[in-house]
């Protein structure tokens, strides 16, 4: 059976390629009953998504994916059911935006020094009205023929020890979880199998996350393999986390799992939505 919940998706407000409205309509026609829009470090797509959802027969969950630096690793924390107008959350996101804008300039400068001019302007062109992310730099670099595709651009230019890499200095884990809980949401660790961490380090991060009030981890994710589902389902069971499911969809040309095709959570999991009012969507 397919899962009717997709609790991790992106729009043009961050690095997705569909507008919030287009995403919601596509999700509804793909049979998704409850969708969370979880743009990177911004709630700016949520109002448009809510307007589209009202007419489309789909439940929209207000979400976010917050960038965190934990022990020099970048970790992504999803917030579900947040109040997008919460002042504490908005103040935190403003701080992250300042860092992100500075980082974009820094990436542009570093690429310039590496013989690639105009990258910041190019990335901004791809970002449009949304924030500038590495994805937009990657689209620009791919367009100018620096690598064969976006994946390849990341490998050659945008990761550690490559010319356009800037070490992350995002929110702390307590800040991110605090902003989400303060805004009335549930905090979920995004794609936990994707981090560059040993199993011990991952457990230590998850332990801290739980101490702070985090309640869930993504078990089914577009960034996870079938093996990862089983490993993360066991970890959720061991550490008493609720399990979430999200495609991490970024748009039609940029997905690993098509909208509406997420598999169900393994039977041992307690879904993060088990006590939500729109549970009947399952």
Tokens of 215: 């309640």
Angle between helices 87-113 and 134-143 (to 10 degrees): 30
Cα end-to-end distance, the chain, whole Å: 10
Q: What number of other Cβ atoms are within 10 A of residue 281's Cβ?
A: 15
Partner that binds at residue 12, options Mn ion, ligand AMP, none, CB closer than 5 to 8 Å by kind: none
Rounded distance between C-alpha atoms, residue 262 and residue 4, angstroms:
8
Of 62, 59, 22, nearest to 39 by C-alpha is 62
Partner that binds at residue 134, options ligand AMP, Mn ion, none, CB closer than 5 to 8 Å by kind: ligand AMP
Rounded distance between C-alpha atoms, residue 36 and residue 185, angstroms:
12
Nearer to ligand AMP, 160 or 240 (CB): 160
Partner that binds at residue 77, options ligand AMP, Mn ion, none, CB closer than 5 to 8 Å by kind: none
The minimum distance between CB 256 and Mn ion, in angstroms, equals 11
Q: What number of other Cβ atoms are within 10 A of residue 208's Cβ?
A: 15
Rounded distance between C-alpha atoms, residue 176 and residue 84, angstroms:
14
Of 30, 38, 26, nearest to 4 by C-alpha is 30
- Binding residue count for Mn ion, defined by CB under 5 A: 5
> Under rule CB under 5 A, which residues in 200-259 are in contact with Mn ion?
248
Q: Does 190 bind Mn ion (CB under 5 A)?
A: yes
Rounded distance between C-alpha atoms, residue 273 and residue 282, angstroms:
9
The minimum distance between CB 55 and ligand AMP, in angstroms, equals 29
Partner that binds at residue 62, options ligand AMP, Mn ion, none, CB closer than 5 to 8 Å by kind: none
Q: What's the Rg (C-alpha) of the chain?
A: 18
> Under rule CB under 5 A, which residues in 71-100 are in contact with Mn ion?
76
The minimum distance between CB 131 and ligand AMP, in angstroms, equals 8
What residues make contact with ligand AMP under the rule CB under 6 A?
15, 40, 67, 133-135, 150-151, 154, 250
Q: Does 134 bind Mn ion (CB under 5 A)?
A: no
Nearer to ligand AMP, 40 or 210 (CB): 40
The minimum distance between CB 118 and ligand AMP, in angstroms, equals 18
Where does this chain bind Mn ion (CB under 5 A)? 15, 65, 76, 190, 248
């Amino acid at each position: 059976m397919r899962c009717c919940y997709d609790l991790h998706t992106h729009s043009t407000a961050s690095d997705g390629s569909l507008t919030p409205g287009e995403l919601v309509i596509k999700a509804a026609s793909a049979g998704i009953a409850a969708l969370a829009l979880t743009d990177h470090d911004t709630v700016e797509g949520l109002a448009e998504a809510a307007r589209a959802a009202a007419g489309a027969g789909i439940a929209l969950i207000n979400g976010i994916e917050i960038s965190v630096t934990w022990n020099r690793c970048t970790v992504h924390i999803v917030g579900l059911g947040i109040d997008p107008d919460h002042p504490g959350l908005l103040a935190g996101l403003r701080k992250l935006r300042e860092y992100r804008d500075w980082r974009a300039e820094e990436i542009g400068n570093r690429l310039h020094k590496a013989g690639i001019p105009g990258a910041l302007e190019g990335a901004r062109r791809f970002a449009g009205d949304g924030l500038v992310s590495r994805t937009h730099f990657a689209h620009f670099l791919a367009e100018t023929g620096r690598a064969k595709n976006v994946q390849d651009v990341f490998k050659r230019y945008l990761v550690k020890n490559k010319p356009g890499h800037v070490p992350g200095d995002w929110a702390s884990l307590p800040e991110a979880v605090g902003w989400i809980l303060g805004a009335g949401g549930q905090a979920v660790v995004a794609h936990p199998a994707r981090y560059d961490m040993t199993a011990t380090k991952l457990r230590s991060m998850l332990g801290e996350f739980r101490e702070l009030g985090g309640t869930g981890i993504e078990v089914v994710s577009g960034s996870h393999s079938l093996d990862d589902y089983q490993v993360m389902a066991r970890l959720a069971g061991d550490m008493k986390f609720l399990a979430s499911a999200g495609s991490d969809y970024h748009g039609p040309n940029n997905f690993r799992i098509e909208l509406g095709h997420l598999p169900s959570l393994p039977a041992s999991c307690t879904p993060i939505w088990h006590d939500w009012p729109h549970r009947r969507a399952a």
